[in-house]
Amino acid sequence: MSRPKLVCSALAFALILAADAHAATDADLAEIRDQIRQLKESYEARIQALEQRLQDAELAATRSSAAPPAKASPPAVTPDATVAASAPAPAASGLSAFNPAISAVLQGAYANFSQDPNKYAIAGFVPSGDIVPAKRSFNLAESELSLSANVDDKIYGNLIFSLTPENTVSVEEAYGLFTTAPFGTAPKFGRFLSSIGYLNDQHQHAWDFYDAPLVYQAFLGGQYQNNGLQLKWLAPTDTFVEVGAEVGSGESFPGNGRNKNGVGDGTAYVHVGDDVGASNSWRAGASYLQTAARDREYTQADLAGNDALVAFTGRSKVAIADFVWKWAPNGNAQERNFKLQGEYFWRRENGDLTYDSDGALGLTRTGNYRSDQSGFYVQGVWQFMPAWRVGARYDWLNPGSVDYSANGAYLANGSFDPQRWTAMFDWTPSEFSRFRVQYQQAKLRPGFTDNEIFVQYILTLGAHGAHKY
């Protein structure tokens, strides 16, 4: 129903109601009907006039847009059979017309570990959750399903499910983004991957290696996800300067769910980037995350060799410095290109640690706890011909200092530096598929050297997504 008709009907309805309240006589009714008819007519006349004006305006626009006739031999637009002017595609109709863009990512890998992946752990670092890269043999890796569309004139919405090989579904991202916010701001709300660091807000299928760098595994439990609000502001300068901050529930590692009102975590970051000539571009950033944990439990072997239950309550602060530099001859990455990236992480945790020997003595003690730990990775990926790339990565973690104070009699942290060397080779037959072989030697615990091999596939189907820089 057109708008004026709606208005008319609404008016009519209101009038009838009002009239009804006065026990309308036939004469009244006739009068009302007449009024409605007049209203309708006047509206229709006005609509017609408007439509006529619109038509005229459109005509004028096409006339002015069509090339004004040039006096000197205008280029005749030859009606060539091969130049068949295509009519505009018929608009999709019905309920499906507003379907969101759908895309899916299918992933899998064959994995080979020389050490038992069930015992995967990083010495000297608090277990951060499920960070085991794969199981032995053939694996189905995470599949992703994403739906996105403009919600209305102000908001864009995006939902990304992750379907795990264990047949569970998790919501990786589900957020709204204000598209028309002023002053170069982009407010986002919902669940999203935090924009701290460089790799954190990129989805796994966009990474250049099969698994996350060790710093991400040790300090953020893989990737830092937030439920909350994000505000980014882009400076009105020719150089890219982005300032962002997030507040959220703080349920992700190194924090945890604390059943608390208000804000659970906060992040702040600055990203700066630009081009150097036509061939080089770069981005660098600094990020800070502050969150907290209450009774974050894990097991740790104590000095007596028992598996003790340990719980941390306190604050966790993470600082990240990141950079990425890309080179392609004249900016044409199609033939050859090189990408160098690295990130440095630092984390401080201070609070109380409760030690439960869980042994015969049934000893439970709470004491101060403070840790200062750091690490970095640096990686390079070289595309030497279209579709083919090789890459190398080096990971290093510094267990730093961990002060158990009163619990020092039972717990200690080694001084072992976990390290990993990785080599990668991949083939990208099209924008939508990639096959990768990766070998890495991981020394994550003293005396254990794990040789790991992954053969991975990534397939993308559906809507054409754009990848972040």
Partner 1 sequence: MKRLLRLGVAGLLLLPPAVAWATLNVFATVPEWGALAEELGGDKVKVYVATNALQDPHHVEAKPSLIARARAADLVVATGAELEIGWLPLVMQQAGNPKIQPGKPGYFEAASLVPMLEKPTRLDRADGDVHPGGNPHIQTDPRNILRIAGPLATRLAELDPPNAAFYQARAKAFTERYGTAIANWEKQAAPLKGVPILVQHKAFTYLIAWLGMREVAALEPKPGVEPTTSWLSEVLALLQQQPAKMVIRAAYQSDKASLWIAERAKLKAVALPFTVGGDDEAKDLYGLFDDTIARLLKGIQ
Produce one character per residue of 430-454: b if its CB has 16 or more CB atoms within 10 Å, e if not.
eeeebebebebebbbbeeeebebeb
Q: How far is the CB of 362 from partner 1 (least distance, A)?
A: 43
CA 77 vs CA 86, 189, 201: distances in Å: 15, 51, 49
Residue 214 CB neighbours (<10 A): 26
In degrees rounded to 5, what are phi and psi of residue 157?
Answer: -120, 150
Q: How far is the CB of 252 from partner 1 (least distance, A)?
A: 22
Which of 219, 223, 241, 243 minimizes the C-alpha distance to 233? 243
Q: How far is the CB of 278 from partner 1 (least distance, A)?
A: 6
Secondary structure element (H or E) that encloses residue 38, with its range: helix 26-65
* Between 11 and 268, CB nearer to partner 1: 268
* Between 325 and 439, CB nearer to partner 1: 325
* Between 233 and 416, CB nearer to partner 1: 233
Q: Read out DSSP for 39-55?
A: HHHHHHHHHHHHHHHHH
* Between 426 and 452, CB nearer to partner 1: 426
Q: How far is the CB of 283 from partner 1 (least distance, A)?
A: 5
Q: For the chain, how many helices (H) and strands (E)?
A: 3, 17
- Written as six digits, the tokens of 463 are 């809507």
DSSP state of 387: T
* Between 32 and 241, CB nearer to partner 1: 241
Q: How far is the CB of 277 from partner 1 (least distance, A)?
A: 11
* Between 103 and 407, CB nearer to partner 1: 103
Q: How far is the CB of 319 from partner 1 (least distance, A)?
A: 14
Produce one character per residue of 66-92: b if its CB has 16 or more CB atoms within 10 Å, e if not.
eeeeeeeeeeeeeeeeeeeeeeeeeee
CA 72 to chain centre: 56
* Between 164 and 332, CB nearer to partner 1: 332
Q: Cβ(242)–Cβ(232) under 8 Å?
A: yes
Q: Strand, coil or helix: what is 426?
A: strand
Q: How far is the CB of 432 from partner 1 (least distance, A)?
A: 6
Sign of CA dihedral 204, 210, 215, 220: positive
Sign of CA dihedral 172, 431, 423, 453: positive
Q: How far is the CB of 89 from partner 1 (least distance, A)?
A: 8
* Between 138 and 469, CB nearer to partner 1: 469
* Between 74 and 414, CB nearer to partner 1: 74
Q: How far is the CB of 104 from partner 1 (least distance, A)?
A: 13
* Between 233 and 421, CB nearer to partner 1: 233
Q: How far apart are CA 446 and CA 458, in angstroms?
A: 34
* Between 178 and 394, CB nearer to partner 1: 178
Q: Cβ(412)–Cβ(404) under 8 Å?
A: yes
CA 170 vs CA 90, 141, 308, 452: distances in Å: 37, 14, 31, 27
Q: How far is the CB of 44 from partner 1 (least distance, A)?
A: 29
Q: How far is the CB of 155 from partner 1 (least distance, A)?
A: 12
Q: Strand, coil or helix: what is 56?
A: helix
- Written as six digits, the tokens of 38 are 């007049």
